[in-house]
């Protein structure tokens, strides 16, 4: 009998769906896992750029992490954007206490920093309006 891997993504949110928690959950589901999320930052962004970032209090992230771990056994953790030193400390402390069997990190301090990873090819506006982010 095989079990579905339970994977927790700790990352920022991208409302356009192309990065962050949204992309992680899509990837986890596509590979047969059960995805869970603890959100470190909320962004106002689209496929063309970031307009704003809000980092909720680190104590609220700690509450999210503890609530998930108290109820669901976590097989793996994927860490993305952490955003502030306080958030990094909360995640490090939680990992030290819970010791998930597997973890990986695609670190990014902020979505602005992550945008430097690749340079998209400019597209005419007519193509952008009908484009589905990948």
The pLDDT confidence band at residue 106, using thresholds 50, 70 and 90, is: confident
Secondary structure of residue 119 in the 3-state scheme: coil
Domain annotation for the chain: domains and CATH numbers: 6-113 (3.40.1190.20)
> What is the reported pTM?
0.79
Predicted pLDDT of residue 132: 39
Backbone angles phi, psi at 71, to 5 degrees: -115, -35
Rounded-to-integer distance, Cα 106 and Cα 96, Å: 19
Backbone angles phi, psi at 5, to 5 degrees: -65, 135
pLDDT tens for each residue of 45-89: 999 999 999 999 999 999 999 999 999 999 999 999 998 999 999
Secondary structure of residue 120 in the 3-state scheme: coil
């Amino acid at each position: 009998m095989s079990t579905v891997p339970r994977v927790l993504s700790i990352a920022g949110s991208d409302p356009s769906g192309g990065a962050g928690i949204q992309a992680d959950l899509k990837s986890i589901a596509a590979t047969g896992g059960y995805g869970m999320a603890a959100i470190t930052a909320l962004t106002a962004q689209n496929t063309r750029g970031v307009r704003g970032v809000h980092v909720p209090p680190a104590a609220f992230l700690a509450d999210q992490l503890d609530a998930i771990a108290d109820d669901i056994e976590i097989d793996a953790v994927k860490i993305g954007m952490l955003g502030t030193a306080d958030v990094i400390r909360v995640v490090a402390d939680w990992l030290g206490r819970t010791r998930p069997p597997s973890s990986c990190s695609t670190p990014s301090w902020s979505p602005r920093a992550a945008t430097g990873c690749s340079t998209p090819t400019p597209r005419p506006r007519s193509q952008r309006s009908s484009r589905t982010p990948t």
